[in-house]
Amino acid sequence: MAHLISTSCSISIPSRSNFCSKEQNIVGTKVSFASFGSQVSSFSLKKLIHRGERSQRVCTIHATTLPLTEEAKTQPSSASTNISHEGSKKKRVMIIGGDGYCGWATALHLSKKNYEVAIVDNLVRRNFDQQLGLDSLTPISSIHNRIRRWKSITGKTIDLYIGDVCDFEFLSETFKSFEPTSVVHFGEQRSAPYSMIDRSRAVYTQHNNVIGTINVLFAIKEYSEECHLVKLGTMGEYGTPNIDIEEGYITINHNGRSDTLPYPKQASSFYHLSKVHDSNNIAFTCKAWGIRATDLNQGVVYGVRTDETDMHEELYNRFDYDGIFGTALNRFCVQAAVGHPLTVYGKGGQTRGYLDIRDTVQCVELAIANPAQQGEFRVFNQFTEQFSVNELAALVTKAGAKLGIDVKTISVPNPRVEAEEHYYNAKHSKLTELGLKPHLLSDSLLDSVLNIAVKFKDRVDTKQIMPSVSWKKIGVKPKTIAA
Ligand SMILES: NC(=O)c1ccc[n+]([C@@H]2O[C@H](COP(=O)([O-])OP(=O)(O)OC[C@H]3O[C@@H](n4cnc5c(N)ncnc54)[C@H](O)[C@@H]3O)[C@@H](O)[C@H]2O)c1
């Protein structure tokens, strides 16, 4: 059954007995979270708030510290947009992973643009922080308070379904209840180092990501055949070939014959491999069942601010800087802010595509507004600029100097197995053709990243900055993290 939770009720959710579980209290709702394991958690809720047809849906989130008198009096303003989404009032977007970094920003952005939005999330990302003793640099509110605050400011409701997409019963009920016209699937374990901690995290990552995506595909086939799947892949699926990287497909001439084939994938962690498996499964179901899908091979995202998350501190997005979840630029800015040398892994020639979180939300909106055709497996490379790690370090050093910070850089042994000097030229024109207006790093580095890092530098745990996971030393023994 779908777990559309009204947190004014207290619901006790048993975890499966074969999981290592941890109880948490989330704003009055007692929830048992399964932590990582070779099987995937599911919330086997027996009693639900929601029953019956969509017209009877319960979609108000009641948990908040906000007094009822502060409920929204204002009506939503129709923000100007250069993205056409005619008929968008009828567009119902399910955002799987909507409590995460990209998903939260996207949920608010689409809600602001008058899409009907539902967040589906099992909150496992918050649980990873608890397992590993990590925390977002920015203080983040509970999902319930986030949604309640959004409503109080804009008058817009975001539905919330708490549950695991690996639990097909839950996902089915969620689909039947919300009836999405688009599904944006962010809901995966997304850290390469996390997937390389030990065997159980490697297995968890592949199970969570691959089975979750297969379930989403079956749910679309069964309940919502017209629904457009927008799936977050990663540029890391391609690896670093010594030729240009195309957008999803490459035309090959071989022994006098020619064909356009999926671009070769050379993933370099169990996480990245899970994304390759996802891409293959999606491509197959587009052919076999006529699913319409867009695979967004996203680069490394940086920044924390969007127009919507800036509206109130309870809407702040998460900002990961630690050695496991922190992305390179976010981590460098935090290091600069606390006077820690920037830690370049190895030679620093590793080059990747990058984009601002404000462009992530724009790209997803563009993909939804211009859906793939029935049976089409469309691939967009979603990044705006490419940089080597050394180039990023130089940019942060320069930006630090403008704030009077003397930034130092050191090279540390590379915990990953990857080329440290290589050719890299990845195409990324399809989203630009649809109308993407990029925020370039040169304009936003100080404003959107470094100043935020400086503002919250007292919250930095410097013990979390150095890399702690080695690609070569991964073993079968569960690795525990010492306090
Ligand atoms: N952040 C980046 O730089 C980046 C780069 C490339 C691709 N991506 C992809 O974008 C997506 C989102 O990344 P993010 O940085 O926002 O990650 P995140 O960890 O912040 O968010 C993922 C969200 O999904 C939820 N989730 C995970 N497994 C789930 C499950 N089985 N059922 C329901 N919810 C589940 C988590 O609780 C979390 O809230 C991921 O698929 C990731 O691979 C991210």
Q: What is the CATH number of the domain that holds 145?
A: 3.40.50.720
Interval 120-139: pLDDT, tens: 999 999 999 999 999 999 99
pLDDT band, very low/low/confident/very high, at 20 (cuts 50, 70, 90): very low
Interval 435-461: pLDDT, tens: 999 999 988 888 779 999 999 999 999
On whether residue 414 sits in a domain, the answer given is: yes
Higher pLDDT, 266 or 12: 266
Interval 262-288: pLDDT, tens: 999 999 999 999 999 999 999 999 999
Interval 141-200: pLDDT, tens: 999 999 999 999 999 999 999 999 999 999 999 999 999 999 999 999 999 999 999 999
Mutational pocket test of ligand 1: of 99, 101, 381, the residue with most ligand atoms within 8 Å of the beta carbon: 101
Average pLDDT over residues 27-42: 33
On the question of pLDDT at 21 being above 60, the answer is no
Average pLDDT over residues 96-104: 98
On the question of pLDDT at 13 being above 80, the answer is no
On the question of pLDDT at 424 being above 70, the answer is yes
On the question of pLDDT at 353 being above 70, the answer is yes
* Percent of the chain topping pLDDT 90: 77
| Per-residue model confidence (pLDDT) at position 83 | 53
On whether residue 30 sits in a domain, the answer given is: no
| Per-residue model confidence (pLDDT) at position 175 | 98
On the question of pLDDT at 71 being above 70, the answer is no
* Residues 41, 48: Cα–Cα separation, whole Å: 18
| Per-residue model confidence (pLDDT) at position 482 | 58
Task: Kindly report the pTM of this predicted structure.
Answer: 0.86
The total domain count for the chain is 1
On whether residue 21 sits in a domain, the answer given is: no
| Per-residue model confidence (pLDDT) at position 61 | 34
On the question of pLDDT at 81 being above 90, the answer is no
| Per-residue model confidence (pLDDT) at position 182 | 98
On whether residue 469 sits in a domain, the answer given is: no
Which of 106, 275, 316, 343 is flagged as catalytic? 275
Q: What angle do CA 313, 317, 322 make, to 5 degrees?
A: 125
On whether residue 77 sits in a domain, the answer given is: no
- Please state the atom number of ligand 1 nearest to the C-alpha of residue 212: 31
- Between the CA of 193 and the centroid of ligand 1 the distance, in Å, is 14
On the question of pLDDT at 470 being above 60, the answer is yes
pLDDT band, very low/low/confident/very high, at 483 (cuts 50, 70, 90): low
For ligand 1, atom 30: residue with the closest CA: 164
On whether residue 63 sits in a domain, the answer given is: no
- Between the CA of 387 and the centroid of ligand 1 the distance, in Å, is 23
Supply the mean pLDDT for the chain.
85
* Residues 135, 418: Cα–Cα separation, whole Å: 27
On whether residue 50 sits in a domain, the answer given is: no
Is 473 catalytic? The answer is no
Interval 184-241: pLDDT, tens: 999 999 999 999 999 999 999 999 999 999 999 999 999 999 999 999 999 999 999 9
- How many CB atoms are located within 10 Å of the residue 265 CB? 18
Is 430 catalytic? The answer is no
Domain housing 369: 92-464
Is 112 catalytic? The answer is no
- Who lines ligand 1 at CB under 6 A? 96-97, 99-103, 121-125, 164-166, 186-190, 208, 212, 232, 234, 298, 300-301, 327
Interval 372-395: pLDDT, tens: 999 999 999 999 999 999 999 999
On the question of pLDDT at 42 being above 70, the answer is no
Interval 304-350: pLDDT, tens: 999 999 999 999 999 999 999 998 899 999 999 999 999 999 999 99
| Per-residue model confidence (pLDDT) at position 448 | 78
In three state form, how does the secondary structure of the chain look?
CCCECCCCCCCCECCCCCCCEEEEEECCEEEEEECCCCCCCCCCCCCCCCCCCHHHCCCCCCCCCCCHHHCCCCCCCCCCCCCCCCCHHHCEEEEECCCCHHHHHHHHHHHHCCCEEEEEECCHHHHHHHHHCCCCCCCCCCHHHHHHHHHHHHCCCEEEEECCCCCHHHHHHHHHHHCCCEEEECCCCCCHHHHCCEHHHHHHHHHHHHHHHHHHHHHHHHHCCCCEEEEEEEHHHCCCCCCCECCCEEEEEECCEEEEEECCCCCCCHHHHHHHHHHHHHHHHHHHHCCEEEEEEECEEECCCCCCHHHCHHHCCCCCCCCCCCCHHHHHHHHHHHCCCEEEECCCCCEEEEEEHHHHHHHHHHHHHCCCCCCCEEEEEECCEEEEHHHHHHHHHHHHHHCCCCCCEEEECCCCCCCCCCCCCECCCHHHHHCCCCCCHHHHHHHHHHHHHHHCHHHCCHHHCCCCCCCCCCECCCCCCCC
Lowest mean pLDDT among 4-13, 102-111, 396-405, 437-446: 4-13
On whether residue 217 sits in a domain, the answer given is: yes
